[in-house]
Structure 1
Amino acid sequence: MKRKYALVAGGPKGELADLKAYKDENVRWIGIDRGVLFILEAGFTLHHAFGDFDSVTMEEKEKIERETTVSIYPAEKDATDTEIALNWVLEQTDVEEIYLFGATGGRLDHFFANVQLLINSIEKGIKITIIDSQNQITLFKPGTYKVVEQREWKYISFVPISEDVYDLTLTGFKYPLANEHIKIGSTLCISNEFAQDECTFSFTEGILMMIRSKD
């Protein structure tokens, strides 16, 4: 059976999405450092935990070790705790889709590193979405994709991550496009909106970031 994996990192709690909105029997919850505590506070069962756990107390660490299998890494290493956890999930044979929580807010170097992880993982063909209290961030390879309006997530933006995105076409949106060449650094496709319930976007070359946002 294919499953969704929800990774929760230790980003600022004020930026964290409502984890209970993603409760599902088919979701396996993976804690990353202090993110483990957010999962336990939500009342979910932990499947695995990763990190150096330098941001928790000794008592909290002992609690985490009682709850699940823990992979502890030194603070000084060549990959972030989030990268280690994500790579482990991508090796699982039952993964269908990945949510990444607690990956925004706070330190900008951590945020940009987490976006880079989406780039590194896009070739796996598994959808990975960074989710916080106001945003959903997903990367796409060339193709044609449908996106359904969710009234809570009013705004939708498209940002080139590669140097060029070719033939970007937006159909059904408030501001449509047809076969547009978008270069990195362009703000042309920021803050679009839905003009109908189901819209389509497509492009032929490059890597495109889609951001769905709410005020």
Structure 2
Amino acid sequence: MMINILGGGPQSLLPDLKQYDSTGCKWLGVDRGVFTLLNAGIQPHYAFGDFDSVSDDEWDKIEREVGNLIKVKPEKDETDMELALNWALLQKPQQVNLFGATGGRLDHFFGNVQILLKPVLENLETHVEIIDEQNHLFAKGPGSYSISRRPDRTYISFIPISPSVEGLTLDGFKYPLSDRNISLGSTLCISNELVGEHGTFSFSEGILLVVSSRD
């Protein structure tokens, strides 16, 4: 099962949401993202948020058209996006895609990057990605992974998001790497590229943020 979550980030940064609207996937709307989904002709299965970013008319539309509405107080310990992701992870899907999670306020963006760590820190099998019109982001813990070329994403960067990443090896890349230790703050692995259709990356300790992007 796949779950797609749409937050309230700028619509100019959203990809074509219809291409992710596959049979059997569930859509969750977060705050203003609920209204964006409805306007895109996609029916949210659930809606989360304090809805402080929608007008009274927009809220009336959300109340009329969304059956499973979870409204929370603005004063809370988690962001609306984290509340939606927590619910999604409890469903044990294979993948969760986060849209509308970039652009706008930088504190919200960095918060959304942080919640990518949830499945890694909790040893969950669910793969969580942030997707916008220009980037795909996900986090991984120690292991060996295959990565495929995305036709619209030329560059692949590997960014430490823990104090260090130990034993990083990159195979199938323009700039290969063998058993290197990368410290937090290093830009060594920014803007790499696959030389074929597939490559692998592996490491023994730490947490790695993987970013596929284009100019």
**TM-superposition CA deviations, 1:15-42 (whole Å, max 9, x none):** 1222112120121000000001221122
2:7 paired with 1:5: no
**TM-superposition CA deviations, 1:125-184 (whole Å, max 9, x none):** 210000111100000011111111122111100000010101100000000000010000
SS in 2 for 1:114: helix
- Residue 116 of structure 1 is matched in structure 2 by 114
How many residues align? The count is 212
Indicate the larger mover: 83-92 or 118-127.
118-127
- Residue 208 of structure 1 is matched in structure 2 by 208
SS in 1 for 2:83: helix
Amino acid at match of 2:131: I
SS in 2 for 1:35: helix
Task: Give the % identical residues.
Answer: 50
Distance in 1 (alpha carbons) for counterparts of 2:69 and 2:15? 24
Amino acid at match of 1:50: F
Distance in 1 (alpha carbons) for counterparts of 2:162 and 2:184? 6
Distance in 2 (alpha carbons) for counterparts of 1:193 and 1:36? 36
- Residue 74 of structure 2 is matched in structure 1 by 75
- Residue 185 of structure 1 is matched in structure 2 by 185
Amino acid at match of 2:154: K
Distance in 2 (alpha carbons) for counterparts of 1:165 and 1:82? 28
> TM-score, normalising length from structure 1?
0.96
Distance in 2 (alpha carbons) for counterparts of 1:173 and 1:120? 28
2:153 paired with 1:170: no
Structure 1 residue ranges without an equivalent (≥5): none
Give the C-alpha shift of residue 120 in structure 1. Answer: 2.6
**TM-superposition CA deviations, 1:78-102 (whole Å, max 9, x none):** 1111111111111114x11100000
> TM-score, normalising length from structure 2?
0.96
Amino acid at match of 1:187: T
| C-alpha contact 2:94 2:125 (8 A) present in aligned 1 | no
Equivalent residue for 1:51, pick from 49, 52, 76:
49
SS in 1 for 2:156: strand
SS in 1 for 2:8: coil
Indicate the larger mover: 180-189 or 114-123.
114-123
**TM-superposition CA deviations, 1:37-76 (whole Å, max 9, x none):** 2211221121000001111111111111222211001111
